[in-house]
A and B are shown apart, each in its own frame.
Chain A
């Protein structure tokens, strides 16, 4: 087995790990760095539950190797709240009851954060297309869309 040494930054903190060359970034986050927020829904890039921001881009961490993270800046759901203070997106997901089982929620939140960084006032269609790779089997998406629009409005006021 070939192990690879990797240095990266996760949520602003420097991290170092050894991983098998075949391990995905998702495996590394969950099993080596104990960051279990990102979920494995499918393992093939179809469901979005493992979404993270990798060097400024939204990606499926199951489609990135741990070894590819050398020198990377990674943002995960664990870095979203400011201490005890939830991010507006997190607050609004709760306020709109936009989650049920919660498996997809970390991925939805990270994807929504990446969208609002690019477009602070997305319309419903834009949100639906952006989140087409984040599957939710519980909510039917409507509440998620409303929560994101509500959070976006609040963040625009604060900005």
Chain B
């Protein structure tokens, strides 16, 4: 295996273009090294961590955030500004793996690994996050929800690399939240995950985004669930409609973690709980 250390994303793309065989980009490595251990050793490994800015968390001009591709979970969960703006995204990232994994694993890696159960992905989708993608065709911005194609597969083209993660500015009176169901208290993979991001005008919800994980081959936005919230004060009727929409979403499977029927039930329960937390946070927000 050839190990390369580009000094820029342009150089990384060029290296990937010239390389032969299986080419992988390396950020935190907590999924990639496990795969290598299982025998899937790439021919060329391009380590992105020597590129300037990959460890930075910065405010963008529009008041959002730019997060470098090598920023590990531990760094995000300690960041007061991000926690204040996007507590749901931060709590989702913080649920991934152990303290040791948090020391390395990155949200961009969680996205690129393309597990349907990835915790950070529903939260990023609900938040309206985007990634910057660089490739032979140039630079483009892509919604996080448009990256995963199915388990272990992305819609990134050959030679394309994610070069940054962007969170939009937090809306005034906005809040987000993420929860997952696992049968243990820690160190497990979501049976279902649910994220809600919403804004309030007084007690009335003006905007909402609801995303579910592990209910389909990719994390998905549930428009019906979001519309069940907008215009309401999150009374019992709205919660019931939300819950039904979440349960009806996607096409969950039966596997060792749970049956499709159980996943549908849990999606409804989680959506309700998570919406209440997001609503509360939006009420507390400036």
Instruction: Tell me the A residues contacting B by CB distance below 8 Å.
Output: 2, 4, 21-22, 24, 43-46, 48, 51, 54, 57-60, 62-65, 67-68, 70, 111, 114-115, 129-134
Shortest CB-to-CB span from B2 to chain A, Å, is 5
Q: Cα distance A44–B100 when bound, in Å?
A: 12
In the bound complex, do residue B30 and residue A45 qualify as a contact, i.e. CB atoms below 8 Å apart? yes
Choice from B3, B97, B99 contacting A67 with Cβ under 8 Å: B3
Choice from A54, A63, A115 contacting B101 with Cβ under 8 Å: A63
Within 8 A of A (CB), among B106-124: none
Choice from B2, B36, B103 contacting A2 with Cβ under 8 Å: B2
In the bound complex, do residue A4 and residue B3 qualify as a contact, i.e. CB atoms below 8 Å apart? yes
Choice from A48, A62, A64, A70 contacting B98 with Cβ under 8 Å: A48
Does B69 lie at the interface of the complex (its beta carbon under 8 Å from any beta carbon of A)? Answer: no
Interface centre among A22, A43, A44, A63 (most CB of B within 10 A): A63
Does B187 lie at the interface of the complex (its beta carbon under 8 Å from any beta carbon of A)? Answer: yes
Does B68 lie at the interface of the complex (its beta carbon under 8 Å from any beta carbon of A)? Answer: no
Q: Cα distance A70–B41 when bound, in Å?
A: 21
Chain B residues whose CB sits within 8 angstroms of the CB of A132 once the complex forms: 98-99, 186-187
Chain A residues whose CB sits within 8 angstroms of the CB of B41 once the complex forms: 22
Chain B residues whose CB sits within 8 angstroms of the CB of A4 once the complex forms: 3
In the bound complex, do residue B34 and residue A45 qualify as a contact, i.e. CB atoms below 8 Å apart? yes
In the bound complex, do residue B100 and residue A111 qualify as a contact, i.e. CB atoms below 8 Å apart? yes
Q: Cα distance A131–B98 when bound, in Å?
A: 8
In the bound complex, do residue A60 and residue B1 qualify as a contact, i.e. CB atoms below 8 Å apart? no
Interchain residue pairs with CB less than 8 A apart (27)? A21-B3, A22-B36, A22-B41, A43-B37, A44-B34, A45-B30, A45-B100, A45-B101, A46-B98, A48-B98, A54-B103, A59-B103, A59-B104, A60-B30, A60-B98, A60-B104, A62-B37, A63-B30, A63-B104, A65-B33, A67-B3, A111-B100, A115-B99, A130-B99, A131-B99, A132-B99, A132-B187
Given A68-B49, A132-B186, residue A63 in contact with residue B99 (CB < 8 A): no
Choice from A24, A43, A58, A67 contacting B103 with Cβ under 8 Å: A58
In the bound complex, do residue A2 and residue B3 qualify as a contact, i.e. CB atoms below 8 Å apart? yes
In the bound complex, do residue A63 and residue B34 qualify as a contact, i.e. CB atoms below 8 Å apart? yes
Known: A45-B30, A45-B100. 18 other contacts (CB 8 A): A21-B1, A44-B37, A51-B100, A54-B103, A57-B74, A58-B99, A58-B103, A62-B33, A62-B37, A63-B30, A63-B100, A65-B33, A68-B29, A111-B99, A114-B99, A132-B98, A133-B98, A133-B101
* Cβ proximity bits B7-35 to A, threshold 8 Å, 1 near / 0 not: 00000000000000000001001100110
Does B47 lie at the interface of the complex (its beta carbon under 8 Å from any beta carbon of A)? Answer: yes
In the bound complex, do residue A133 and residue B187 qualify as a contact, i.e. CB atoms below 8 Å apart? yes
Instruction: Tell me the B residues contacting A by CB distance below 8 Å.
Output: 1-3, 5, 26, 29-30, 33-34, 36-37, 41, 45, 47, 49, 72, 74, 97-101, 103-104, 186-187
Shortest CB-to-CB span from A128 to chain B, Å, is 8
Choice from B5, B49, B101 contacting A60 with Cβ under 8 Å: B101
Q: Cα distance A24–B37 when bound, in Å?
A: 10
Chain A residues whose CB sits within 8 angstroms of the CB of B98 once the complex forms: 45-46, 48, 60, 132-134
Shortest CB-to-CB span from B109 to chain A, Å, is 11
Q: Cα distance A68–B56 when bound, in Å?
A: 18
In the bound complex, do residue B33 and residue A133 qualify as a contact, i.e. CB atoms below 8 Å apart? no
Q: Cα distance A43–B101 when bound, in Å?
A: 13
Q: Cα distance A14–B90 when bound, in Å?
A: 36
Given A58-B103, A68-B47, residue A63 in contact with residue B33 (CB < 8 A): yes
In the bound complex, do residue B104 and residue A65 qualify as a contact, i.e. CB atoms below 8 Å apart? no
Q: Cα distance A21–B32 when bound, in Å?
A: 14
Choice from A43, A57, A115 contacting B104 with Cβ under 8 Å: A57
- Which A-chain residue is minimally distant from B2 (CB atoms)? A2
Choice from B1, B29, B49, B187 contacting A22 with Cβ under 8 Å: B1
Q: Cα distance A60–B186 when bound, in Å?
A: 17
